[in-house]
Amino acid sequence: MENNLLWFSIILGCSGLFFLVGWLCRKGPPLESFFQRLLRWENGSMRTDTRVMVHELHRKVEELSAKMQRMDAEMQELLKIIRERAPEEESPGFVDRPAEIFGLAKEGFSADAIARRLNLGRGEIELVLSLAKRPSWVIRDKPGPDF
């Protein structure tokens, strides 16, 4: 009994679907018209979705722009406070770091000791020290022939 009821409902559902598709495709070739209507409906909904997404993107760009302006104003205020608090006489000015590094290296300090002493990274110290060991043709003061 249950098996017969299942087959009856499947047949009834298929025939209902067949009549629904036929009703939707009243004009022109049935399937072509149906799919054309479906595509027009999809295109309309995609246009609406695209407009909504563009509107949201514009809104977010405006929010980010306003936030960036606020942060820029805060940064300018902080720079002003820093300039007011730190007198120019106390600022160290230009420091020739490579000269300091080479001087400490000549005194026999290791790269780790120099990094701790100057409060720099070990990699930065090793880079500066490796530049002193470069061949003369790597970086030239005078233009020479290209190899």
Do 105 and 79 share a domain, yes or no?
Answer: no
What CA–CA distance (Å, rounded) separates 3 from 53? 49
Confidence (pLDDT) at 28: 52
Do 65 and 103 share a domain, yes or no?
Answer: no
Confidence (pLDDT) at 97: 81
pLDDT classification of 134: cutoffs 50, 70, 90: low
Sign of CA dihedral 125, 130, 133, 138: negative
- Count up the domains in the chain and report the number: 2
Do 39 and 67 share a domain, yes or no?
Answer: yes
Residue 13 lies in a domain: no
What CA–CA distance (Å, rounded) separates 98 from 134? 15
Q: Is the pLDDT of residue 145 over 50?
A: no
Residue 17 lies in a domain: no
Residue 16 lies in a domain: no
Tokens standing for residue 2? 């249950």
- Residue pair 127/111 in contact (Cβ under 8 Å)? The answer is no
Do 67 and 108 share a domain, yes or no?
Answer: no
Domain range for 117 is: 95-132
Confidence (pLDDT) at 4: 81
Do 74 and 117 share a domain, yes or no?
Answer: no
Put simply, whether the predicted model's pTM sits higher than 0.75 gets the answer no
Do 80 and 104 share a domain, yes or no?
Answer: no
Residue 18 lies in a domain: no
Sign of CA dihedral 91, 97, 101, 102: negative
pLDDT classification of 144: cutoffs 50, 70, 90: very low
What's the mean per-residue pLDDT of the chain? 77
Q: Is the pLDDT of residue 89 over 80?
A: no
Mean pLDDT of 85-99: 61
Do 101 and 72 share a domain, yes or no?
Answer: no
- pLDDT tens, 30-50? 556 666 777 777 776 677 777
Do 31 and 82 share a domain, yes or no?
Answer: yes
